[in-house]
Structures are given as C-alpha cells and as structure tokens.
C-alpha cells in the first residue's frame, strides 16, 4: 500500500518536472547575452589620485584662471556706466509730483526733467537702458499670461485668445490684442536726453530705437497678422487694447516696420526677466564722429514723460547709460569668480605640496619598533 502510493507520487513528480521543462528554458532565455557590454565586463579606467597628478593640476588651474580673471575684471572696470534714479520718492526730486499723483488711470501724462552731469566722456557707442526694481516678472502666473500663437500672427488666436491670458483676455466683449498680464504691464515711460554745452545751448541726443530686440524675436517669434505690409488698422479691427495701454497696438509707432506686434519696445518687454531688479535695453546712441566721443563730458538733462507708476508695488525706476566690451556689459562677477577659483586652487596646491614634502616621503618601516 505504501509502495504503490510512493510510486504514484514519483510518477506525478515526473510529469510535473517534464511540464516545467519548457518554462524553465524560457526563463533561461531571458538572460542577457553573454557579451562584454551586457555583462558589464567592459574595460574601465579609474584614476588613482597621487601627489604627482593632483599637485600639477591645482597649480595649472590656478595659473590659468588667475590671469583670465584679472583680464575679465579689468575689462569690466573699463566699461563706462552711469545710472540715475528718477522714481521721485524724495521731495527734492524733480519727478516727486509725478510719482505722487500719477496712476494707471491718469489721462494726462506727467512730465519732469532730471539734470545730471558726466565726469568722464563715453567714447564708444552707448546703450541706454531703463531699470525697474521690486518688479517680479518671474511669477509663474505672470510668465504664463500670454498667447504666443497670437503674437506670432495667428488670426484665430487674435480673435480667440488663449485662456492663459485671463483676466486680460477680453475687454468689453472684444478680444484683447495683445492679451495677457505681461503685455498689459508694458513699460511706457518716454525718455529723451539733452546735452547742455558750456554756452548753455541745449542739444537733443539722437536715440536709435531700431536693433534693440533680439533678431530671432523680431523676425521669428513675433509677427503681425497678415504680414508686416498689411493694413494694421483693418487687421486689428474688432480687437481691444490692453486695459493699461493708452493706444492700441497698431498705433505704437508710425513706422510700419516697427508697429504692432513687431514693435521692438514691446518685444523687449515681453522677454521676461529672471530677477526682481532688472534692466532692459531702451535705445542706443551711435557714435558719429570717430574723433569725438558719443557722449562728451558735461551737463545733461533727462526729460521724462512719466507714464509708468511704481508706487503700488514699492518699485523704483532708473535710467542707465553704459558702454560695452567684447564680453558684454559691466559685470565684475565673472572676473572675481575666476580669480577666486584660481587663488583657491593655487593655495591648495601650496598646502598639499608642503604636506607631501613633509610627510609623503616618510619611511613606513621606521615606525615599526625593533
């Protein structure tokens, strides 16, 4: 009885093992191929850090970075830059009355003149910027509040803007062009620069407004519906201007090549800043005479049409005049960073060289007692 049950179980086990054979083969077939790559047998190189490799690396980095940093720092310091705040927060400021009384709903712009002087001439071409402080263009909802299809000239988006533009999507049942919070808060102060010669004669400095936007923005990302040669008044018929704008988008400039969505002041503003204190290019001052500076030393007057209120967010406004070099505008951080990294590496090289010289050649066998 026991023997028969044993043989039956053995037979059953045999059937089960036979059935499991193909399954076992399929499991084995899923193994990675026996190659160097799939079995992780590729040759590898692991550097061994020794005094002979680390010390020269530290000294080479230091000797390369320090001269580069000094060159960048000197180049940055040679850039002329002048900045003047015209917010009008102080009672003695010429723009104080404008800052106290002006708001978005003002119908008449306020004008003020800010005198200043340049102690040194600006020899090369000058870039004129406007700067804002405490203005957070990097807020998530603010950055998303635009319709890129509309700005690229899409007729459908012109009449039916993206929902991302809310609450600046429709005004009086008409679609807003351009829609969104970024366009609605566009900087619209007008700045004019005058030079006062020693005789007291006031001469206006010509400010060039073309070429201030990125080429890709001007010719690729921003387009007027129907093309640049179309009748913008007819194209934008049935749309409404942004709430805080004085004029519709098709009246931003008299030049058809700088009007509508391809207006360069508008394009510059639509490229949002990453930090709450920023500057954006407003105009350029071209040097006309090779022997004369672009801006001579002397007295100047900045005439401001005060359109942009900043009291609501405790902001400040400023005008910046700056030259540039091969590395761009004035920015000493890069030179300081190179000098700091190079100095740290050189110092570590000296310290490690001293340690290696004092302890690296010690005979280990001398520490073993007799």
Looking at the structure, tell me whether residues 123 and 236 fall in a common domain: yes
* H helix intervals, the chain: 2-29, 51-77, 96-101, 140-144, 148-151, 155-159, 181-184, 215-216, 232-235, 264-270, 333-355
Q: Give the closest residue to 333 by CA, choosing from 108, 75, 19, 122.
A: 75
pLDDT of residue 28: 61
- Chain-centre distance for alpha carbon 357: 48
Domain co-membership, 310 together with 332: no
Taking the C-alpha atoms of residue 179 and residue 362, their distance in angstroms, rounded to an integer, is 75
Nearest to 132 by CA among 86, 183, 184: 86
Are 72 and 87 contained in the same domain? Answer: no
Question: Which pLDDT belongs to residue 318?
Answer: 95
Is the bond preceding 163 in cis, omega lying within 30 degrees of 0? Answer: no
Rounded Cα–Cα distance for residues 109 and 90 (Å): 20
pLDDT at 359: 84
Contacts of 129 (CB under 8 A, 6+ apart): 279, 280, 281, 282, 319, 320, 321, 322
CA 185 to chain CA centroid, nearest Å: 19
| Other C-beta atoms lying within 10 Å of the C-beta of residue 318 | 16
Q: Are residues 184 and 234 in the same domain?
A: yes
Q: How far apart are CA 180 and CA 166, in angstroms?
A: 7
**Domain identity same for 283 and 345:** no
- Asked if the structure places residue 39 within a domain, the reply is no
Is 33 a domain residue? no
Question: Is 305:122 a contact under the CB 8 Å cutoff?
Answer: no
- Structure tokens, 157: 């988006």
In a domain, 174, yes or no: yes
Is residue 40 included in any domain, yes or no? no
User: Residue 32: inside a domain, yes or no?
Assistant: no
Residues 196 and 249 in one domain: yes
What do you get for the CA distance between the two ends of the chain, in Å? 80
C-alpha distances in Å from residue 91, one per residue of 107, 133, 305: 24, 20, 18
Q: Are residues 105 and 190 in the same domain?
A: yes
Flag whether 233 is in a domain: yes
Within this chain, do residues 132 and 201 fall inside the same structural domain, yes or no?
Answer: yes
Q: Which residue matches tokens 């030259």?
A: 323
Say if residue 143 is in the same domain as residue 248: yes
Residue 243 lies in a domain: yes
On the CB side of 174, CA atoms within 13 Å amount to: 13
Residue 148 exposed, middle or buried by CB count within 10 Å (0-12, 13-18, 19+) = middle
In a domain, 365, yes or no: no
- Domain span holding position 203: 82-323
The residue assigned the tokens 């005004």 is 171
**Are 231 and 286 members of one domain?**
yes
E-only strand ranges, 73-225? 81-85, 110-118, 126-133, 170-171, 174-175, 190-196, 202-204
Phi–psi pair at 365, nearest 5 degrees: -70, -20
Number of domains the chain contains: 2
Q: Smallest Cα–Cα separation from 325: which of 77, 84, 130?
A: 77
pTM of the entire structure?
A: 0.78
pLDDT at 361: 65
From first to last of its 370 residues, the chain has per-residue pLDDT tens of: 444 444 444 444 444 444 455 555 555 667 888 898 888 888 888 888 888 889 999 999 999 999 999 999 999 999 999 999 999 888 888 999 888 876 666 667 789 999 999 999 998 899 999 999 999 999 999 999 999 999 999 989 999 999 999 999 999 899 999 999 999 999 999 999 999 998 888 999 999 999 999 999 999 999 999 876 678 888 898 999 999 998 999 999 988 889 999 999 999 999 999 999 999 999 999 988 888 899 999 999 999 999 898 988 899 999 999 998 888 888 899 999 999 999 999 999 999 999 988 887 665 545 445 4
189 and 141 housed in the same domain: yes
335 and 316 housed in the same domain: no
């Amino acid at each position: 009885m026991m023997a028969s049950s044993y043989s039956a179980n053995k037979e059953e086990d045999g059937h089960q093992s036979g059935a499991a054979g193909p399954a076992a083969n399929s499991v084995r077939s899923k193994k990675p191929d026996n190659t160097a790559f799939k079995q992780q047998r590729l040759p590898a190189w692991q550097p061994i850090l020794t005094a002979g490799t680390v010390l020269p690396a530290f000294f080479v980095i230091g000797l390369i970075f320090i001269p580069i940093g000094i060159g960048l720092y000197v180049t940055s310091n040679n850039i002329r830059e002048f900045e003047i705040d015209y917010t009008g927060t102080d009672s003695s400021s010429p723009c104080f009355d404008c800052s106290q009384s002006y708001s978005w709903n003002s119908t008449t712009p306020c004008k003020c003149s800010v005198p200043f002087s340049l102690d040194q001439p600006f020899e090369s071409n000058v870039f004129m910027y406007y700067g804002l402080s405490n203005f957070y263009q990097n807020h998530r909802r603010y950055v998303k509040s635009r319709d890129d299809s509309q700005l690229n000239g899409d007729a459908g988006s012109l009449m039916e803007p993206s929902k991302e533009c809310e609450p600046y999507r429709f005004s009086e049942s008409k679609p807003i062009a351009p829609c969104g919070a970024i366009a609605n808060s566009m900087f619209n102060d007008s700045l004019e620069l005058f030079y006062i010669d020693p005789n007291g004669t006031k001469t206006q400095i010509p400010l060039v407004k073309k070429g201030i936007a990125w080429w890709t923005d001007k010719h690729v990302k921003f387009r007027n519906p129907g093309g640049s040669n179309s009748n913008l008044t007819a194209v934008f018929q049935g749309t409404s201007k942004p709430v805080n704008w004085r004029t519709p988008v098709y009246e931003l400039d008299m030049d058809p090549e700088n009007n509508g969505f391809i207006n360069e002041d508008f394009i510059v503003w639509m490229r949002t800043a990453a930090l709450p204190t920023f500057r954006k290019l407003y105009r350029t001052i071209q040097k006309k005479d090779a022997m004369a500076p672009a801006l001579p030393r002397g007295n100047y007057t900045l005439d401001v049409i005060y359109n942009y209120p900043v009291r609501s967010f405790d902001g400040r406004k400023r005008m910046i005049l700056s030259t540039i070099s091969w590395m761009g505008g004035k920015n000493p951080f890069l030179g300081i960073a190179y000098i700091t990294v190079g100095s740290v590496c050189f110092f570590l090289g000296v310290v490690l060289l001293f340690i290696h010289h004092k302890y690296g050649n010690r005979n280990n066998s001398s520490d073993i007692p007799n």
